[in-house]
Structure 1
Amino acid sequence: MYISNLTIENFRCFGSKKDKLKLPLLSGLNTLVGENDAGKTAIIDALRMLLGTRDQETIRPQVSDFHYLNSTTQAQNFTIEAVFSELSSRERANFPDYLTYQADDEDNPAVLHITLKSSLINEKMRTVVYAGLHTGPHGLKELDLKTREKIRVTYLRPLRDAEKEMDVGRNSRISKILKKQSNIDAGEKLIDLVDVADEKFSDVINKLGIVGIARLINQLLEQQPAINNTTKNLNDNFLQPLQMDGDNLTARLGIGPDADDEALKRQMLEKIGITLEGIGGKRGLGSNNLLYIACEMLLLADSQDEPALLIIEEPEAHLHPQRQLKLIQYLQERIKSHHAEHNVHLQIIVSTHSPTLASKLPIKCMCIVHKGKVLPLRAANLHDNNITFLERFIDATKSNLFFCRGLLIVEGDAENLLMPSLSKILGVDFTTTGVSIVNVGHTGLSRFANLFSGTDQYPNPGINVACLHDLDLIEYSVAKELALNCVCGTDEDTIQSAWNKAKESIGATEGLEFSTLNELLPLNIISGLTDDPFSAKKLEKAESSNCYKGDSVKGFYSKPWTLEYSLAYHGLGEELTIAACLAKAEKSAQYDPSKHQVISNIAKKYYEYLKKHYADQAIIAGKVYELFLSPISIFDALPAEESAKLILKKEASKAAAGQILGVLLEDIDTKMKESNQTERDRIKHWKNVLPDSVVDAVFHVTPTYSPTAPSKVDCDE
């Protein structure tokens, strides 16, 4: 059996009605991801409170557990409900008086519906756990203590001290494992040493002190069939699969098997402990954590009369990334083998903050938790081919999208490096506001974004997503000036004639001559002429090519070409020229960082040269963008002695230029601040010179934190 549905109402961050938690769970691995204080621990504590745990640690309702309906009013009741489905015949026999029968469900005729209800009356609490439904022929029945013992789950707390958890004691893990061994009582219960006197055994005993006897007992324990088999089973089948090559972790059972004489004397004949042995001496937290998890899995494997449910908070605790990946692989394998061996479901519920783990988890087993809302990703209306695509390309850097408050998806390294700086000068810091930037390359932006689209049943939990695209459409005049291949093969005279005719028709009341021109232009070329309906249609088609669902997920487009071109066109032409020239120089072995200011000055002169020789801002922006396209050198336009040795004939790296431009713009903003310009005035300036797509994308992913600043309309007044 496994928990198929969990409902929580008025408990901590979860409210009532539309704000209560309804969480569907899978029979195998379930993973809760999200930022701190999102509700992950509340879900896990609710399960612990409802079901109890095998470590006998009781978690009882507190006044603080009751949800606050508003800042002053607190709920007086909360409920936690779990539905166990697909019970085996043996499991049904364990709960005959508490099952709810479903005549209309042939595949799942009986379920175990368990509810905890806690009421707060005059700051005193009454809590009851019962089975059944609120309505229906089966009614409600309070669970007795014996039955509650049968539904306890295994829980591994966050930041656990594995050595302490496995230490000797009344409820030690190893004692529980040994008690379940069928042959633990095999053998004679008493041996009279007189009977073995002829074998001089008594002589040996007489020579031993208390520590020596303890060590002899450890030798005898190692030969005892139950302990020997348990040790071998634990090492071979549970601890070994968790290890990486070269780990060499081996468990030993005994009375303080790794203790010194004094400690061994204290533990003698009292308890049996467990420790790791192997080359390298005492093991660290991570290795002991693996041993602890291995013991829990062995205990689960031997517990046929209790739910095979394991809850782990932060399984990545104390583990480096490779061991985290090994752990998640191991858990998935145990889920499969447990069902094959015992014909019952092993259900594992994990909460994690690890991008490493998230990068290797199946999409369908993940649930994003955000501000008391949940978004099960298997309910995101994604086709199987999209899930396959995402599982192939989500790595440890992209998986930070599962832990964000806002998400900006970009299609290149330049945007990835530049956008944090652009957000800062617009008054919002992505680090402070919890925005993740994910660079997915040039394809698949909508596939990543639509993870967050949600459905009617599970809407977006409040995480805004912006996808920043290049439209990749080029104005004819710019393409012609740059001699791009897309227009070099066309009949220029014919195009020029159509171009001139279209220009002449602008302003006419009817009969605009754009159709002839547009028939001659390649698919990625637009005329750039005012009121060209065919260019407008190309732009509209490009913007609608990505299907985004819901108001929280939107696309933003750098028009008409790329982000770099758009930056140069809208007001950052000089700054981008400086960044591009510095990026060009970085590629040269002759580059001397001390010449930074010299190169900046040359770049400024080059931009002044462009403004003098070209009247069209679109062409000026194109010439700036040309620095990224081909191995040209700006000393064709400047005296060679000024630039030839500093800026060689190599195209600029967009990533390098993006990083340089970000630093440059932040420095400018700092100087503006030092000159006593207010934040409002600085934001007004940057909104005037940045493309709308950039400004809108930044404010879309930070709606709560976006500063009060004038719109572009206000700025233009």
Structure 2
Amino acid sequence: MYISQIEIKNFRNFKECEIQFNEGVNVIIGHNNAGKTNLLKALSLIIDHKTSKRLETDDFNKLISIDDLKKAPPKISIAIKINKGPNVEPDDLVTIGNWLTKLDSSYEALLTYEFFLPEKEIPHYLSAINAITETDEIKAVEKAWKIIKHDFIRLFTHKIWGGEISNQAVADSDSLQKFDFQFLDAIRDVERDMLTGRNTLLRDVFDFFMDYEIKNEPEATKPKSAKIAEIKARKIDFSDKADELIEMLQKRMEQGKEQILSYANVTGASFNEAKPNFEGSISDVEMFSVLKLIVEYKSGIKIPATHNGLGYNNLIYMSLLLAKMQVNSNGSYMGSNAKVYATLAIEEPEAHLHPAMQYKFLKFLKQNRKERKVRQIFVTSHSTNITSAVSLDEIICLHSENGITSVGYPGKVFPDDKSKKYVQRFLDATKSDMLFAKNVILVEGLAEQLLMSVFAQYEKESLEDNHTVVINVGGRFFDHFLHLFDSTKPNTIHKKIACITDRDPESKIILNGKFKKCYPYEYNLDPSTYEYKFNSSALKYPAGTHPNISFFTQDETKGKTLEYDLLLTNPTSELLLTPSISNQDEILKLMQLYSEGKKPTDLLVALRSSTENDRIISSINIADTTTWDDDIKMRAIIASRYLNSVGKGENALELSYALLENLDLLGKPEYKNFIVPDYIKETIAWICQK
């Protein structure tokens, strides 16, 4: 069996939310305050018998209107569905038998935690809340919650119902305690919890695994009675040797003891012919208190575990925790107290583990589940290394927007295996950032990836403050990724997605040849000879046509690529002439001629002779003068020459440095004006819009 679903109502950031779980590993991700910790807390309220079931006013979701508060007291409801699943143990059905809601061979059970105001207190509550006279909604709600906190929260009670909630059957405590829910939170002190035998965790593990070679021997070769007898003989032998040690200690203390106890006579502690003395024995279990955890290196050096790093000790602690869960589920050792369902929940394992250890840790967890030492695992994480190490099917993504929490299942959104496999391969440690960010900008190449954050700063915005990440998809492969985020479809991750793509006009001779890149002023220049096309992916979701996805590209008449548009928008900006740009002198000359108010013919004369320059000259001369006036022609000449002189990756890095250094000069005479291309401005404005 396994926990297949949780439904949460009015608990913390969850107004009403249903979350599906996997039978094995569940990696729960999302931006800060998306509800990852609250989800584990909700789960623990039902299946962790050690957790306090009492809640406070602040545990309620506050998105309740004053009208609803006046109709009825708020109530928290958390329900988990338990399904049979592919892996069944003998005691599964016995444990959940009283909670079944589906009685066929693929059985299903339901447990529901409720925190509510008892029926008899409701009239008093309604009287108090309906006496609120404030007309302002916010003030009225604030006053209602103050009344609940001061006068009613102490009267709220909780129940865990088994089966259909309409039956109001309380889940029996004995069955609930068959669940072993071990929770390792993000702020933990593992040294306190594990490093000496005085600690319960280590002592219980020691006791179970002592004489393990006997306990683990098959019944066929050694009956249970023979095992018990052999272990008992070992205990007696140990006790006899321990008694010899105690006797040796007593002899060493014989005279000293008389001196110590002489003070009893003076203080009056010895009276009525009774006097204090020292006596004792020690068992093998009691000897655990002298043991401490150490780390022994291959060189033979031994150091106490207290000298280890936090990450290393966390791994040791988790291994002990899994060993403890094995102890808890062993029927021979625990008898009727043995656990049936072992669940491990770990919050932010990356807090103390470097990337390589995170990967090893996840592999370790999966192996333990495979060996049935733990049956279901829940991990919350902000780590791209962890998400890159698991399959899309194992990821659950929480997203919170305007107080509403939504859930995405990346493994369930793809219409075909091709896109799913493509995205799975793509989500390495860097690119899986898209799963964590609040907003995403998808771009075709490295230049846009390096420059988008800088462009935003020129627009007095911050992508980082808006929790926006820029992802380079390496071409026009947006569709594969949009399956993850299309909010009009089920199981997707709801966040803003901006796609920036180049217009890339192309032409070819009709009925002959292949499409080749052309300049914007060549587009539709000779439709009788040439066939034309452009990158039509930008037409998929123009801004405003989809709830959460928008495409942005250059002007349909004058646009081509990012580099081209940079010069088209900034035809005299020497900031763009970075060290890796070739033909700098020629481009600088074109800029100067433009600044001096020259004509297009003056710029064309300044072009050195080359095949590409000859093409620019011939095309610009016959460009449509109704669209291409002298000013835009000159800009296009400079942009074309710049585009042919740039190496994208290196130039983008140099340009980002140059633009950032220029920003530092803002307000000073040395500052150079720079204008962000319009389509980039539109992208930034849309993605940063609150």
Same fold (TM over 0.5): yes
Give the match for residue 251 of structure 1: none
Q: Structure 1 residue aligned with 2:74, among 73, 76, 83? A: 76
Q: How much does 1:44 deviate?
A: 0.8
Amino acid at match of 1:447: H
**Partners of 2:61 and 2:197 in 1: how far apart?**
37
Residue 617 (structure 1) aligned to one of 611, 632, 637? 632
* Counterparts in 2 of 1:283 and 1:50: CA distance versus 1, 3 Å: same
Q: Secondary structure at the match of 2:364?
A: helix
Describe the shift of the 1:273–1:141 C-alpha distance in structure 2 as closer, same or farther (beyond 3 A).
farther
Aligned position for 1:123: 153
Q: Distance in 2 between matches of 1:416 and 1:626?
A: 23
Structure 2: distance between partners of 1:154 and 1:202: 41
Residues 1:608 and 2:609 are matched in the alignment: no
* Counterpart-to-counterpart distance in 1, 2:407 and 2:498: 20
Cα 1:396/1:210, change in 2 over 3 Å: farther
Letter in 2 for 1:63: T
Q: Which residue does the alignment assign to 1:206?
A: 248
Match for 1:177 among 191, 205, 214?
205
Q: Structure 1 residues 468, 128: closer, same or farther in 2, change over 3 A?
A: same
- Root-mean-square deviation over aligned CA pairs: 4.1
Aligned to 2:496: 464
Aligned ranges for residues 361-380 of structure 1 at < 5 Å? 361-371=390-400, 372-380=405-413
Deviation at 1:415, TM superposition (A): 1.1
Q: Could you tell me how far 1:352 is from its partner in structure 2?
A: 0.3
Instruction: Tell me the distance in 2 between the aligned counterparts of 1:193 and 1:43.
Output: 48
Q: Is the 2:483–2:492 Cα contact (8 Å) retained in structure 1? A: no
**1:271 counterpart residue number:** 289
Q: How does 1:5-44 map to 2 (within 5 A)?
A: 5-15=5-15, 20-44=16-40
Q: 1:313 to 1:273 in 2, by over 3 A?
A: farther
Cα distance in 2 between the residues matched to 1:189 and 1:292: 29
**Residue 147 of structure 1: aligned partner:** 175
C-alpha spacing 1:129/1:170, structure 2 compared with 1 (3 Å) = farther
Counterpart secondary structure, 1:312? strand
Task: Name the % identity.
Answer: 22
CA positional deviation for 1:445: 2.9
The secondary structure found in structure 2 opposite 1:58 is: coil
Shift in CA distance, 153/691, structure 1 to aligned 2, threshold 3 Å: same
Match of 1:93 in 2: 94
Q: Which residue of 2 aligns with 1:699?
A: 685
Secondary structure at the residue paired with 1:79?
Answer: strand
Q: Report deviation, 1:697.
A: 1.8
Structure 1 distance, partners of 2:7, 2:241, is: 65
d(CA) in 1 for partners of 2:193 and 2:311?
Answer: 14
Residue correspondence of structure 1 range 577-596 to structure 2 within 5 A: 578-584=575-581
Instruction: Tell me if the contact between 1:300 and 1:308 (Cα under 8 Å) persists in the aligned partners.
Output: yes
Q: CA deviation at 1:562?
A: 1.3
1:300, CA displacement in angstroms? 3.1
Measured after TM superposition, the shift of residue 547 of structure 1 is 12
Structure 1 contact 5–22 (Cα < 8 Å) conserved: yes
Instruction: Give the CA deviation at 1:151.
Output: 2.3
- CA gap of 1:209–1:35, structure 2 versus 1, over 3 A, is farther
Residue 357 (structure 1) aligned with residue 409 (structure 2): no
Distance in 1 (CA, whole Å) between partners of 2:552 and 2:526 is 21
Q: State yes or no: 1:134 paired with 2:139.
A: no
Mapped partners of 2:38, 2:378: distance in 1: 13
SS in structure 2 of the partner of residue 418 of structure 1: helix
Q: Cα 1:546–1:703, aligned 2, differ >3 Å: closer, same or farther?
A: closer
CA offset at residue 89 of structure 1? 4.1
1:80 Cα offset (Å): 0.5
- CA displacement at 1:297 relative to structure 2: 2.1
Which segment drifts farther, 352-361 or 70-79?
A: 70-79
1:307 is displaced (CA, Å) by 1.4
Q: 1:172 to 1:464 in 2, by over 3 A?
A: same
Task: Quote the Cα distance in structure 1 between the aligned partners of 2:437 and 2:493.
Answer: 13
Structure 1 residue matching 2:571: 3-state secondary structure: helix
Residue in structure 1 matched with residue 566 of structure 2 by the alignment:
567
When residues 209 and 603 of structure 1 are mapped into structure 2, their CA distance, relative to the original with a 3 A threshold, is farther
Number of equivalent positions: 544
Pick closer, same or farther for the CA change 1:37–1:190 going to 2, 3 Å: closer
Stretch deviating more after TM superposition (184-193 or 146-155): 184-193
* Structure 1 residue 112 displacement after superposition: 2.2
User: Is residue 556–residue 693 contact of structure 1 (8 Å, CA) maintained in 2?
Assistant: yes
CA distance in 1, matches of 2:665, 2:251: 80
Counterparts of 1:49-448 in structure 2, within 5 Å, are 49-52=45-48, 56-58=50-52, 60-69=54-63, 76-86=74-84, 88-103=89-104, 106=105, 108=106, 110-120=107-117, 122-124=152-154, 125-135=156-166, 139-168=167-196, 172-178=200-206, 180=208, 186-188=231-233, 191=236, 202=244, 206=248, 269=287, 271=289, 275-279=293-297, 281=303, 282-304=307-329, 305-338=339-372, 346-371=375-400, 372-448=405-481
Over residues 95-129 of structure 1, what are the superposed CA-to-partner deviations in whole Å (9 max), with x where a residue is unaligned?
A: 332322344xx4x1x22210000015622221111
Q: Residue type of the partner of 1:469?
A: T
Question: Contact 1:410/1:440 (CA < 8 Å) preserved in 2?
Answer: yes
C-alpha separation in 2, matches of 1:394 and 1:539: 29
TM-score, normalised to structure 1's length? 0.67
| Cα distance in 2 between the residues matched to 1:78 and 1:700 | 37
Map Cα deviations across residues 486-528 of structure 1 (whole Å, 9 max, x no partner).
8xxx7xxxxxxxxxxxxxxxxxxxxxxxxx8x98994544774
Summarize the Cα distance change of 1:36–1:556 in structure 2 as closer, same or farther, 3 Å threshold: same
The one-letter amino acid paired with 1:92 is: L
Is the Cα–Cα contact under 8 Å of residues 411 and 420 in structure 2 kept in the other structure? no
Would the aligned equivalents of 2:563 and 2:643 in 1 still touch at CA under 8 Å? no
For residue 471 of structure 1, give the secondary structure of its aligned residue in structure 2. Answer: coil
2:265 maps to what in 1? none
Q: Report the counterpart of residue 551 of structure 1 in structure 2.
A: 547
Measured against aligned partners, the alpha-carbon deviations of 1:318-338 in whole angstroms (never above 9, x if no partner) come to 111111111112222333332
Unaligned residue ranges in structure 1 (runs of 5+): 212-266, 477-485, 491-515, 588-598, 630-650, 705-717
- Cα shift readout 1:590-617 (whole Å, capped 9, x = no counterpart): xxxxxxxxx8x99644422466414473
Of the three residues 654, 662, 686, the one matched with 2:648 is: 654
Give the TM-score normalised by the residue count of structure 2. 0.69
How far 1:546 sits from its partner (Å)? 9.3
Query: Counterpart of 2:19 in 1: which secondary structure?
Result: strand
Q: Residue type matched to 1:145 in 2?
A: S
- 1:159 partner letter: I
Distance 1:179 1:97 in 2: 34
Asked if 2 retains the 8 angstrom alpha-carbon contact of 1:579 and 1:658, the reply is no
Q: Residue 581 of structure 2: SS of its match in structure 1? A: helix
Alpha-carbon distance change, 209 to 98 in structure 1, aligned in 2, over 3 angstroms: farther
Structure 1 CA distance for aligned equivalents of residues 34 and 579 of structure 2: 43
**Distance of 1:111 and 1:652 partners within structure 2:** 63
Instruction: Return the alpha-carbon distance in structure 2 between the equivalents of residues 194 and 426 of structure 1.
Output: 79
SS of equivalent to 1:316: helix
Q: C-alpha displacement at 1:85, in angstroms?
A: 0.8
Quote how far apart the aligned CAs of 1:357 are.
1.2
Q: How big is the shift at 1:7?
A: 0.4
Rate the CA distance shift 1:602–1:352 in 2: closer, same or farther, 3 A.
same
C-alpha deviation, 1:275, in angstroms: 1.7
Structure 1 equivalent of residue 264 of structure 2: none
